[in-house]
Chain A
Amino acid sequence: MKKLAKSPWLLHYDASSCNGCDIEVLACTTPKYDIERFGIINTGDPFQADILLITGGVNSQCEQVVKQLYEQMPNPKVVVAVGICACTGGVFKDCYNIKGGIDTVIPVDVYVPGCAARPQAIIDGVVKALEILEEKRQGYREHAGKGES
């Protein structure tokens, strides 16, 4: 694996999840699943994160927060939508306050379905995200190399 793929740091944000998916995200850090063995750290800081892990659909209140978190993350970065709510809005899709999935606000790279998404699926999603992250890194390097950034 390449540089980024060996040390992906996560930022976990709960947009408007029922907390079911959040419990599963936290379960990934427990001894049973131990995501740190892949070098993955669950940081609380967008400035230091590579992967944005979002649960729940976006509502009008947290829309700005999601956008800001995404903008604060340094390039290259990827977004993983965890749970069916984050993918499409799920059971809350038709609520008056819900805008829909995360991709209605920021670009999403990996969709992890499930209600709630299982820890195994979340880890698979993150691993998938690593490949995309590596592609983006190469793109970013070329971009920066031309002095355009």
Chain B
Amino acid sequence: MMPVLSVLAYLLLAPLVGGLLDGLDRRVSARMQGRQGPPMLQPFYDIKKLFTKQMIAVNSVQMLLNLSYLVFLAVAGSMLFAGADILMCLFILSTADMFLVMAASSDSSPFSTLGAGREMIQMMAYEPLTLLMAVGFYLATGSFHVGDIIRQPHSAVLVMPGFLLGFIFITAIKLRKSPFDLSTSHHAHQEMVKGITTEMAGPTLAVMNVAEYYEMVLMLGIVALFFLNEHWWSWPIAIVACLVVYLLEILWDNAAARVKWRTLLDSCWVATLLTGGLNGLILMLVR
């Protein structure tokens, strides 16, 4: 019964939570820049508007591919919130991303084609750490199952702080935060117009935005996984940890300039080795 409820809660609430977090992001960012910023509910106004706009279909598949992106993300998130296999969840997450890459390369704009290429480089950059992290969870808790991971006597973060650091690093890539917002940016004006979303108009863009909210909650859900254990008090700690990580990402977003793809790849792999690799090695040795 519990898994069904939490999956339902995820499917229904993730867009709301994601939208609120996005609103918070825009407001906090504005404050960091000395501006007042939009209302907290601005992301919802934006999405509502996008759905009322004319649907310019640049081809017949883009909307379908975007919808697939949304559905696969929702499935990946549901697996996490159902307490299922974390490896499976991460694989479906990468599959979802492939649909986005296909959606972006399906149109004729050179900007979105470039963006699609960069999105794939980003995937290459963060994929090793996500897989290592799944292995890390197995080494730390003896199971790939989310349901078992959160029923340990101690939080996983105690033995895998390196993985958490690495995961915070790749969350910046996944949430498209500067300096890693190569393929498309939430901020206006980048060197490739809007990157992968350049030819997405109205409802197509709205679908992509909703999908990103699912992804945001999924990523924060994995952060929470590091902190949850069998005691009830680990839940508030996990929620606070998620918020802190999110605020760190916003800070990073506002403090750093965009890097080139080569720097992204190098720094991400070095970070993966130093955090996940080292932590994983230690876990294996002490086991």
In this assembly, does A146 line the interface, its C-beta being within 8 Å of a C-beta of chain B? no
Q: Do A7 and B52 have beta carbons less than 8 Å apart?
A: no
A42-B189, A43-B188, A44-B193 known; A36 and B54 CB under 8 Å? no
Cross-chain contact A34 with B35 (CB below 8 angstroms): yes
Q: Which of B30, B188, B198 contacts A47 (CB 8 A)?
A: B198
What's the least CB distance linking B224 to chain A, in Å?
31
Q: Between A and B, how many residue pairs show CB distances below 8 Å?
A: 81
Name B188's contact: one of A7, A44, A141 (CB within 8 Å): A44
Task: Output the nearest chain A residue to B47 by Cβ-Cβ distance.
Answer: A7
CA distance A38 to B45 in the complex (A): 11
B165-219 at interface with A (beta carbon < 8 Å): 188-190, 193-194, 197-202, 205
Smallest CB separation, B245 vs chain A (Å): 25
Q: Are B193 and A3 in contact (CB under 8 A)?
A: no
Would you call A6 and B198 a contact (CB within 8 A)? no
Residues 44-81 of B contacting A (Cβ, < 8 Å)? 45-46, 48-49, 52-56
Contact yes or no, B53 A75, CB < 8 A: yes
In this assembly, does B110 line the interface, its C-beta being within 8 Å of a C-beta of chain A? no
Among B34, B39, B199, contact of A39 (Cβ-Cβ < 8 Å): B39
A149 is contacted by which of B35, B36, B49, B54 (Cβ under 8 Å)?
A: B54
Inter-chain contacts of B56 with A (CB < 8 A): 47, 72, 74
B-binding residues in A (CB < 8 A): 3-4, 6-7, 31, 34, 36-39, 41-45, 47-48, 50, 72, 74-76, 137, 140-141, 144, 149
Q: What 20 additional pairs, Cβ within 8 angstroms, besides A39-B46, A48-B194? A: A3-B45, A3-B48, A3-B49, A7-B46, A7-B49, A31-B35, A36-B38, A39-B39, A41-B188, A44-B188, A44-B193, A45-B194, A47-B56, A48-B197, A48-B205, A50-B53, A74-B53, A74-B54, A74-B56, A74-B201
